[in-house]
Amino acid sequence: MHAPPSDDWEPVDIGESDTSVYRLANTFAKCCAPSGIADLAAERDRITWFAATGFPGATVMDWLESASGGACLVTSAVAGVPGDSLPPASRDRAMRRLGAILRELHSLTDCPFERPLADVIATAADVVRRGAVNPAYLTDEWRRLQPTELLAQVVAERPYVESVLDPVVCHGDACLPNIFFDPDTLEVTGLIDLGRLGIADRYSDLALTTIQLHDEWSADPAPFHQAYGVPNPDPRRLYFFRLLDPLTWG
Protein backbone atom coordinates (compact mmCIF):
# COMPACT_ATOMS: atom_id res chain seq x y z
CA MET A 1 0.00 0.00 0.00
CA HIS A 2 1.36 3.41 -0.95
CA ALA A 3 1.93 5.79 1.95
CA PRO A 4 0.62 9.40 2.05
CA PRO A 5 3.02 12.20 1.13
CA SER A 6 4.28 12.74 4.71
CA ASP A 7 3.90 11.48 8.29
CA ASP A 8 1.57 14.34 9.21
CA TRP A 9 -1.48 12.74 7.60
CA GLU A 10 -4.17 11.27 9.87
CA PRO A 11 -6.01 8.10 8.79
CA VAL A 12 -9.77 8.40 8.40
CA ASP A 13 -12.33 5.62 8.21
CA ILE A 14 -14.54 6.48 5.24
CA GLY A 15 -15.70 4.70 2.12
CA GLU A 16 -16.03 1.05 1.21
CA SER A 17 -13.20 0.63 -1.29
CA ASP A 18 -9.90 -1.26 -0.93
CA THR A 19 -7.97 1.94 -0.32
CA SER A 20 -6.62 3.73 2.73
CA VAL A 21 -7.73 7.34 3.21
CA TYR A 22 -5.88 10.07 5.10
CA ARG A 23 -6.58 13.73 5.84
CA LEU A 24 -4.34 16.74 6.39
CA ALA A 25 -6.17 20.05 6.90
CA ASN A 26 -8.36 20.53 3.81
CA THR A 27 -6.72 17.78 1.79
CA PHE A 28 -7.37 14.06 1.40
CA ALA A 29 -5.01 11.30 0.26
CA LYS A 30 -6.40 8.02 -1.02
CA CYS A 31 -3.74 5.32 -1.26
CA CYS A 32 -3.77 1.84 -2.79
CA ALA A 33 -1.62 -1.21 -3.36
CA PRO A 34 -0.18 -1.95 -6.84
CA SER A 35 -3.26 -4.01 -7.73
CA GLY A 36 -5.45 -0.93 -7.28
CA ILE A 37 -3.45 1.55 -9.36
CA ALA A 38 -5.64 1.25 -12.47
CA ASP A 39 -8.86 1.88 -10.53
CA LEU A 40 -7.39 4.80 -8.59
CA ALA A 41 -5.98 6.34 -11.77
CA ALA A 42 -9.44 6.01 -13.34
CA GLU A 43 -10.92 7.87 -10.38
CA ARG A 44 -8.25 10.56 -10.72
CA ASP A 45 -9.16 11.07 -14.38
CA ARG A 46 -12.86 11.28 -13.57
CA ILE A 47 -12.28 13.88 -10.83
CA THR A 48 -10.21 15.93 -13.27
CA TRP A 49 -12.89 15.80 -15.97
CA PHE A 50 -15.69 16.50 -13.51
CA ALA A 51 -13.92 19.54 -12.04
CA ALA A 52 -13.59 21.00 -15.54
CA THR A 53 -17.38 20.93 -15.99
CA GLY A 54 -17.81 23.53 -13.25
CA PHE A 55 -19.74 21.14 -11.02
CA PRO A 56 -18.91 21.40 -7.31
CA GLY A 57 -16.51 18.74 -6.09
CA ALA A 58 -12.91 17.95 -5.28
CA THR A 59 -9.89 18.81 -7.40
CA VAL A 60 -6.78 16.71 -8.00
CA MET A 61 -3.77 18.21 -6.24
CA ASP A 62 -1.16 15.47 -6.64
CA TRP A 63 -0.60 11.93 -7.92
CA LEU A 64 2.14 9.68 -6.55
CA GLU A 65 2.86 6.27 -8.05
CA SER A 66 5.43 3.50 -7.93
CA ALA A 67 5.17 0.11 -9.57
CA SER A 68 6.15 -1.68 -6.38
CA GLY A 69 4.43 0.49 -3.79
CA GLY A 70 1.09 1.41 -5.35
CA ALA A 71 -0.31 4.91 -5.78
CA CYS A 72 -1.68 7.86 -3.83
CA LEU A 73 -4.27 10.34 -5.08
CA VAL A 74 -4.28 13.70 -3.30
CA THR A 75 -7.40 15.85 -3.62
CA SER A 76 -8.91 18.91 -2.05
CA ALA A 77 -11.59 18.43 0.59
CA VAL A 78 -15.19 19.38 -0.23
CA ALA A 79 -16.87 21.94 2.00
CA GLY A 80 -20.06 21.11 3.85
CA VAL A 81 -21.37 17.92 5.43
CA PRO A 82 -22.34 14.56 3.92
CA GLY A 83 -26.02 14.00 3.33
CA ASP A 84 -26.32 11.14 5.79
CA SER A 85 -25.43 13.52 8.65
CA LEU A 86 -28.17 16.09 8.01
CA PRO A 87 -30.78 16.47 10.78
CA PRO A 88 -34.42 15.48 10.12
CA ALA A 89 -35.60 19.09 9.85
CA SER A 90 -33.33 19.65 6.84
CA ARG A 91 -34.19 16.56 4.86
CA ASP A 92 -37.23 17.62 2.85
CA ARG A 93 -35.38 20.61 1.38
CA ALA A 94 -32.22 18.58 0.95
CA MET A 95 -34.13 15.95 -1.05
CA ARG A 96 -35.33 18.65 -3.42
CA ARG A 97 -31.83 20.05 -3.87
CA LEU A 98 -30.52 16.54 -4.42
CA GLY A 99 -33.11 15.88 -7.11
CA ALA A 100 -32.19 19.11 -8.87
CA ILE A 101 -28.42 18.52 -8.73
CA LEU A 102 -28.73 14.96 -10.07
CA ARG A 103 -30.83 16.27 -12.93
CA GLU A 104 -28.09 18.79 -13.70
CA LEU A 105 -25.45 16.05 -13.52
CA HIS A 106 -27.46 13.87 -15.88
CA SER A 107 -27.66 16.78 -18.32
CA LEU A 108 -23.89 17.04 -18.78
CA THR A 109 -22.48 16.18 -22.19
CA ASP A 110 -19.22 15.02 -23.76
CA CYS A 111 -18.30 12.62 -20.97
CA PRO A 112 -15.40 10.40 -22.08
CA PHE A 113 -16.17 7.66 -19.54
CA GLU A 114 -18.69 4.87 -20.00
CA ARG A 115 -20.18 2.23 -17.73
CA PRO A 116 -22.11 -0.06 -20.08
CA LEU A 117 -24.79 -2.23 -18.52
CA ALA A 118 -23.20 -5.36 -19.99
CA ASP A 119 -19.95 -4.56 -18.17
CA VAL A 120 -21.72 -3.93 -14.86
CA ILE A 121 -23.60 -7.22 -15.10
CA ALA A 122 -20.34 -8.99 -15.98
CA THR A 123 -18.77 -7.51 -12.85
CA ALA A 124 -21.71 -8.75 -10.78
CA ALA A 125 -21.39 -12.22 -12.30
CA ASP A 126 -17.69 -12.29 -11.39
CA VAL A 127 -18.35 -11.19 -7.79
CA VAL A 128 -21.05 -13.85 -7.43
CA ARG A 129 -18.82 -16.52 -9.00
CA ARG A 130 -16.06 -15.74 -6.51
CA GLY A 131 -18.47 -15.86 -3.58
CA ALA A 132 -17.53 -12.27 -2.72
CA VAL A 133 -20.98 -10.69 -2.31
CA ASN A 134 -21.08 -8.74 0.94
CA PRO A 135 -24.32 -9.68 2.78
CA ALA A 136 -24.24 -6.34 4.61
CA TYR A 137 -25.25 -4.68 1.34
CA LEU A 138 -28.31 -6.92 0.92
CA THR A 139 -31.80 -6.53 2.33
CA ASP A 140 -33.15 -9.12 4.76
CA GLU A 141 -35.24 -10.53 1.92
CA TRP A 142 -32.25 -10.89 -0.39
CA ARG A 143 -30.11 -12.51 2.30
CA ARG A 144 -32.56 -15.40 2.33
CA LEU A 145 -31.62 -16.17 -1.28
CA GLN A 146 -28.37 -17.39 -2.80
CA PRO A 147 -26.39 -14.72 -4.69
CA THR A 148 -26.79 -16.87 -7.80
CA GLU A 149 -30.56 -16.49 -7.46
CA LEU A 150 -30.25 -12.73 -7.14
CA LEU A 151 -28.05 -12.61 -10.22
CA ALA A 152 -30.63 -14.72 -12.07
CA GLN A 153 -33.24 -12.04 -11.30
CA VAL A 154 -30.95 -9.41 -12.78
CA VAL A 155 -30.37 -11.47 -15.92
CA ALA A 156 -34.09 -12.11 -16.33
CA GLU A 157 -34.90 -8.38 -16.18
CA ARG A 158 -32.00 -7.31 -18.40
CA PRO A 159 -33.97 -7.42 -21.70
CA TYR A 160 -36.62 -5.07 -20.31
CA VAL A 161 -34.08 -2.61 -18.91
CA GLU A 162 -32.13 -2.61 -22.17
CA SER A 163 -35.36 -1.92 -24.09
CA VAL A 164 -35.85 1.35 -22.17
CA LEU A 165 -32.18 2.24 -21.59
CA ASP A 166 -31.67 5.97 -21.08
CA PRO A 167 -27.93 6.70 -20.90
CA VAL A 168 -26.72 9.90 -19.23
CA VAL A 169 -23.70 11.00 -17.19
CA CYS A 170 -24.18 9.16 -13.88
CA HIS A 171 -22.34 9.42 -10.58
CA GLY A 172 -22.31 5.64 -10.24
CA ASP A 173 -22.51 5.58 -6.43
CA ALA A 174 -25.07 8.30 -5.68
CA CYS A 175 -25.42 7.55 -1.97
CA LEU A 176 -25.95 10.16 0.73
CA PRO A 177 -22.37 10.00 2.12
CA ASN A 178 -21.12 11.00 -1.34
CA ILE A 179 -23.29 14.12 -1.61
CA PHE A 180 -22.17 17.14 0.46
CA PHE A 181 -24.46 19.96 1.54
CA ASP A 182 -24.11 23.38 3.11
CA PRO A 183 -25.75 22.70 6.49
CA ASP A 184 -27.37 26.15 6.54
CA THR A 185 -28.55 26.74 2.97
CA LEU A 186 -28.76 23.04 2.04
CA GLU A 187 -27.23 23.81 -1.34
CA VAL A 188 -25.14 20.92 -2.68
CA THR A 189 -21.47 21.79 -2.15
CA GLY A 190 -19.93 18.82 -3.94
CA LEU A 191 -20.05 15.25 -5.14
CA ILE A 192 -17.28 12.88 -4.08
CA ASP A 193 -16.11 9.29 -4.75
CA LEU A 194 -16.34 9.45 -8.53
CA GLY A 195 -14.66 6.13 -9.31
CA ARG A 196 -17.80 4.85 -11.07
CA LEU A 197 -18.76 8.06 -12.88
CA GLY A 198 -19.66 7.54 -16.52
CA ILE A 199 -22.38 7.13 -19.12
CA ALA A 200 -25.03 4.76 -17.76
CA ASP A 201 -28.79 4.47 -17.41
CA ARG A 202 -30.10 7.35 -15.28
CA TYR A 203 -31.92 4.85 -13.07
CA SER A 204 -28.60 3.48 -11.83
CA ASP A 205 -28.33 6.74 -9.86
CA LEU A 206 -32.02 7.18 -9.12
CA ALA A 207 -32.30 3.70 -7.63
CA LEU A 208 -29.40 4.13 -5.22
CA THR A 209 -30.49 7.57 -4.07
CA THR A 210 -34.09 6.44 -3.60
CA ILE A 211 -33.18 3.47 -1.43
CA GLN A 212 -30.74 5.60 0.59
CA LEU A 213 -33.48 8.11 1.36
CA HIS A 214 -35.63 5.24 2.59
CA ASP A 215 -32.94 3.38 4.53
CA GLU A 216 -30.97 6.30 6.01
CA TRP A 217 -33.74 8.84 6.52
CA SER A 218 -36.90 6.68 6.53
CA ALA A 219 -38.15 9.31 4.09
CA ASP A 220 -40.76 9.23 1.36
CA PRO A 221 -38.61 9.99 -1.73
CA ALA A 222 -41.47 11.77 -3.52
CA PRO A 223 -39.89 15.27 -3.10
CA PHE A 224 -36.65 13.94 -4.60
CA HIS A 225 -38.42 12.38 -7.59
CA GLN A 226 -40.53 15.51 -8.09
CA ALA A 227 -37.49 17.79 -8.09
CA TYR A 228 -35.64 15.46 -10.44
CA GLY A 229 -38.55 15.49 -12.88
CA VAL A 230 -39.83 11.91 -12.65
CA PRO A 231 -42.72 12.04 -10.17
CA ASN A 232 -43.75 8.51 -11.17
CA PRO A 233 -40.50 6.55 -11.62
CA ASP A 234 -40.48 3.11 -13.22
CA PRO A 235 -40.54 0.64 -10.29
CA ARG A 236 -39.05 -2.18 -12.38
CA ARG A 237 -35.96 -0.13 -13.23
CA LEU A 238 -35.61 1.09 -9.65
CA TYR A 239 -35.71 -2.50 -8.39
CA PHE A 240 -33.34 -3.76 -11.09
CA PHE A 241 -30.56 -1.28 -10.34
CA ARG A 242 -31.13 -1.47 -6.61
CA LEU A 243 -30.55 -5.23 -6.81
CA LEU A 244 -27.66 -5.06 -9.28
CA ASP A 245 -25.53 -2.59 -7.31
CA PRO A 246 -24.76 -4.70 -4.20
CA LEU A 247 -23.69 -7.58 -6.43
CA THR A 248 -20.91 -5.44 -7.93
CA TRP A 249 -18.94 -4.74 -4.74
CA GLY A 250 -16.55 -7.56 -3.97
Q: Which amino acids are annotated catalytic?
A: 173
Nearest alpha carbon to residue 172 among 227, 209, 126: 209
